[in-house]
Amino acid sequence: MLNYPIFQQTSDMGFNYLPVYSSLSVSITLHSCINIRNLIISYLETHQSQIVFISIKWSTFTFDQRRLCSVSDLCLSLFPGLEDVMANSRKYGERLHVWEGWRRQVGQRMRPLYEDYVDLKNEAAKLNGFEDYGAYWRYNYETIEDDALYKYTGDQLMDDVRSIYQQILPLYKELHAYVRAKLMETYPGHIDSDGPLPAHLLGDMWGRFWSNLYPLTVPFPDKPDIDVSNTMVAKGWTEERMFKEAEKFFMSVGLYKMFDNFWTNSMLVKPEDGRKVVCHPTAWDMGNREDFRIKMCTLVNMDHFLTVHHEMGHNQYQMAYRNLSYLLRDGANEGFHEAVGEIMSLSAATPKHLQSVDLLPADFVYDNGNTDINFLLKQALTIVATLPFTYMLEEWRWQVFAGNITKDEWMERWWEMKRELVGVVEPLPRDESYCDPPALFHVSGDYSFIRYFTRTIYQFQFQKALCDAAGHTGALSSCDITGSTAAGTKLRNMLELGRSQSWTRALQTISGDVKMDARPLLDYFQKLHEWLEVENQKHGRTIGWRTDRDPFSENAITVRLSLKAAMGDEAYSWNDNELYLFKSNIAYAMRQYYSQKNQSIHFTAENILNSNPTPRISFDFVVTDPASPSIFIPKSEVEAAIRSSRGRINGAFKLDDKTLEFVDIMPTLAPLVQQPVEVWLVVFGVVMGIVVLIGVYLIISGIREKPKEVTAENPYSADADGHSNKAYEDSESELTGF
């Protein structure tokens, strides 16, 4: 990776060198200067911007300092500890623990910063006349040309990248199918034969390069090993010797010897004095025309041997244009700088070159059959596998900066695109508390990433041109330009242009092309492509992948909520707070369930992972083991825990088993059935009840009084004087004398 100093003396940024260049060079320089100045000014306008900028940079600085404790309680930093696990471990659970832990340690913590970063970068870009920050990045590829042949725009870049992705897709799909079959053998039961690849099984922390999968995928293991890592160690190679051999290679083609201060000022190994450093390999131009450095925590292995050539290739480019004005000291575009480093790696990786530096035995015979396929597959695991990864990452960022992917769907769309474009799936459910992209150094470090796509295309265009200049005959994959000053001169002529000409003209200088062309890359891998087609067909392998496959669905439970049906207009909204409450209730249910089994397991909301949310309020969730988040609690156990706490969960949301539905989990109690009742029926019933009661009362009263009725006639006339008539007395009051 290329880095630029921020402490270049301002006197060297003047225009005193400009008269020696064409008017086009002057226009390019002025254009660059104006936009650099404006972007810096507008970016630093607010106190908030400064805080976010410093926070992002500090997070990047501490990137390698994050420590993660493994399942064996061994706490490791990213380099070399965690990277070593991801490169060499064959334990599915251990790899998953490291993969997930890194994204929690870095991605989740970066989420609020990255949200502010997107807003502020967009604001700065718009103040400089760009539609968004993605457009500002793509501006690096735009050319200021009157001649239409050399004119190029940011929109053309997007179109070309998408078109080239489609061109390389058939080769990638064959490679993907082959690698999937080999991973299925290593991790049985974890990968579907027609599904995507779990992201944590691809050889590094990010799945960017698959080179560490070579031992699992080597087509003909009985052939001599072309990965010379063990040989380098056995022969006592040191980190410094790796750099010395790279320097010899550059000098052999007529390029530059490194300045003496390179060896004293560079950091070629990780310090042992306790200093905290970022180990990601970078090449530095200190801006004074005589100080060029590399910062790298080098290990003695083949991958780092090739990386050394790549980084020193950056230094060679920097030394070639060091006499230009400061603002023209850069690659023709960002992809050119990366491509120059990579073409050196292409030659350094060939068996012919490895034999020349005594890393393959003198009697090694490079045939054009099985050994060639081994070599090409190893190259493809690094080169072909990374193209969809790179395109997808930058396409996502372009869409984020353009506002086409909103913050509330970052992770949903990230993994949706990862499945569709790369054929890679998240091994654990993701929700919007995560922010997986900044877990990669380049994203958190604010680097445009499309350079790694364009460089891969350019490097094969460069390689073909240099091999032709060197008089190479035969397959492009066998070309080693070591010792060819003709090839070196052709390359140096292009390098010395720096940014003084548009990249379309610079490309024409070396290859005769004026735009990206994937044909040299496809030609390089043609033999491997044909072999993969036959091999995959022979074993009946599916080419391509289904996007609806993942490693966790069998343990996932689907939830559906019907708030409107339950509460009508009084329904509350479902948001992050409600989701957290849901997770907390499930965690409580899990604790209670296991406590009844005399097991104390401290489940928290962090152990409840949800995925596949829909606007109609449904989602899936799984439960992970608190002691090892890479292990799923079996679905049957989670279902039992939910059944035992169903009433509590329902009550927390004022719902019932029908409006808070756990799909495939039967209700424990049937809900009360309430029939709708009309008011007039109630009134009518009450009135009729009263009438009936009165009627019954009157009937009963009449029956009881009937025996008491006695008819008695008075034989006497009424006493007008009011005297008592003794002949008339109540029969019940008569006195009897016996």
User: Residue 441's pLDDT band (boundaries 50, 70, 90)?
Assistant: confident
Which of 6-15, 57-66, 616-625 ranks highest by mean pLDDT? 616-625
What average pLDDT does the segment 27-41 reach? 44
Kindly tell me if the per-residue pLDDT of 705 is higher than 80.
Answer: no
Q: Provide the annotated binding site.
A: 141, 310, 314, 338, 451
3-state secondary structure of 275: coil
d(CA 374, CA 362): 19
User: Residue 34's pLDDT band (boundaries 50, 70, 90)?
Assistant: very low
Kindly tell me if the per-residue pLDDT of 15 is higher than 50.
Answer: no
d(CA 660, CA 566): 9
| Residue 362 amino acid letter | A
| Residue 619 amino acid letter | F
Instruction: Return the minimum-mean-pLDDT range out of 143-157, 323-337, 623-637.
Output: 623-637
User: Residue 697's pLDDT band (boundaries 50, 70, 90)?
Assistant: low
What average pLDDT does the segment 455-479 reach? 95
d(CA 331, CA 500): 9
Instruction: Return the minimum-mean-pLDDT range out of 64-73, 202-211, 252-261, 613-622.
Output: 64-73
Query: Tokens standing for 76?
Result: 């490791």
Predicted local confidence at residue 77, as pLDDT: 61
Kindly tell me if the per-residue pLDDT of 21 is higher than 90.
Answer: no
User: Residue 486's pLDDT band (boundaries 50, 70, 90)?
Assistant: very high
Predicted local confidence at residue 146, as pLDDT: 92
Q: How does pLDDT run across 268-315, given as a tens digit for each residue?
A: 999 999 888 888 899 999 999 999 999 999 999 999 999 999 999 999
d(CA 244, CA 348): 13
Asked if residue 107 lies in contact with residue 101, where contact means CB atoms within 8 angstroms, the answer is no
What average pLDDT does the segment 353-361 reach? 92
Instruction: Return the minimum-mean-pLDDT range out of 105-109, 264-268, 456-460, 577-581.
Output: 105-109
* Residue 312, burial from CB neighbour count under 10 angstroms (0-12, 13-18, 19+): buried
Kindly tell me if the per-residue pLDDT of 678 is higher than 70.
Answer: no
Kindly tell me if the per-residue pLDDT of 617 is higher than 80.
Answer: yes
Phi, psi of 670 (to 5 degrees): -70, 135
Which string of b and e fits 129-162 if b means at least 16 CB within 10 Å? ebebbbbbbbbbbbbeeeeeebebebebbbebbe
- Name residues whose C-beta falls within 8 Å of residue 732's C-beta, 6 or more positions apart in sequence: none
d(CA 3, CA 286): 9
Q: How does pLDDT run across 222-253, given as a tens digit for each residue?
A: 988 888 999 999 999 999 999 999 999 999 99
Q: Indicate if the alpha-carbon torsion angle 266, 269, 270, 274 is positive or negative.
A: negative
Of 71 and 216, which is predicted with more confidence? 216
Q: Indicate if the alpha-carbon torsion angle 56, 448, 288, 344 is positive or negative.
A: positive
Partners of 68 in beta bridges: 76
Check whether domain 2-232+329-538 has CATH 1.10.1370.10, yes or no = yes
Partners of 67 in beta bridges: 77
d(CA 317, CA 89): 37
Of 190 and 616, which is predicted with more confidence? 190
Q: Provide the annotated binding site for Zn(2+).
A: 310, 314, 338
Looking at residue 146, what DSSP letter applies?
S
The DSSP code sequence of 410-439 is: HHHHHHHHIIIII-EE-SS---TT---GGG
Partners of 620 in beta bridges: 558, 611
Q: How does pLDDT run across 374-401, given as a tens digit for each residue?
A: 999 999 999 999 999 999 999 999 999 9
Share of the chain above pLDDT 70, in %: 80
Kindly tell me if the per-residue pLDDT of 80 is higher than 80.
Answer: no
3-state helix, strand, coil in the chain (%, to 5): 55, 5, 35
What average pLDDT does the segment 527-536 reach? 98
Residues in the chain: 738
| Residue 390 amino acid letter | T
Of 616 and 48, which is predicted with more confidence? 616
CATH 1.10.1370.10 in the chain, residue ranges: 2-232+329-538
User: Residue 217's pLDDT band (boundaries 50, 70, 90)?
Assistant: very high
Asked if residue 458 lies in contact with residue 339, where contact means CB atoms within 8 angstroms, the answer is yes
Predicted local confidence at residue 386, as pLDDT: 97
Q: Provide the annotated binding site for chloride.
A: 141, 451
Mean pLDDT of the chain: 84
d(CA 224, CA 206): 29
d(CA 454, CA 160): 10
Residues known to be catalytic: 311, 442
Q: How does pLDDT run across 89-147, given as a tens digit for each residue?
A: 898 988 898 898 888 888 888 898 899 899 989 998 998 899 999 999 999 999 999 99
User: Residue 529's pLDDT band (boundaries 50, 70, 90)?
Assistant: very high
d(CA 280, CA 2): 11
Partners of 2 in beta bridges: 283
Predicted local confidence at residue 664, as pLDDT: 83
User: Residue 628's pLDDT band (boundaries 50, 70, 90)?
Assistant: confident
Phi, psi of 121 (to 5 degrees): -65, -40
d(CA 104, CA 431): 12
Instruction: Name the helix (H) or strand (E) containing 646.
Output: helix 646-653
Kindly tell me if the per-residue pLDDT of 563 is higher than 50.
Answer: yes
Asked if residue 103 lies in contact with residue 431, where contact means CB atoms within 8 angstroms, the answer is no
User: Residue 630's pLDDT band (boundaries 50, 70, 90)?
Assistant: confident
Predicted local confidence at residue 68, as pLDDT: 56
Of 52 and 37, which is predicted with more confidence? 52
Kindly tell me if the per-residue pLDDT of 640 is higher than 70.
Answer: yes
Instruction: Return the minimum-mean-pLDDT range out of 200-204, 559-563, 659-663, 703-707.
Output: 703-707
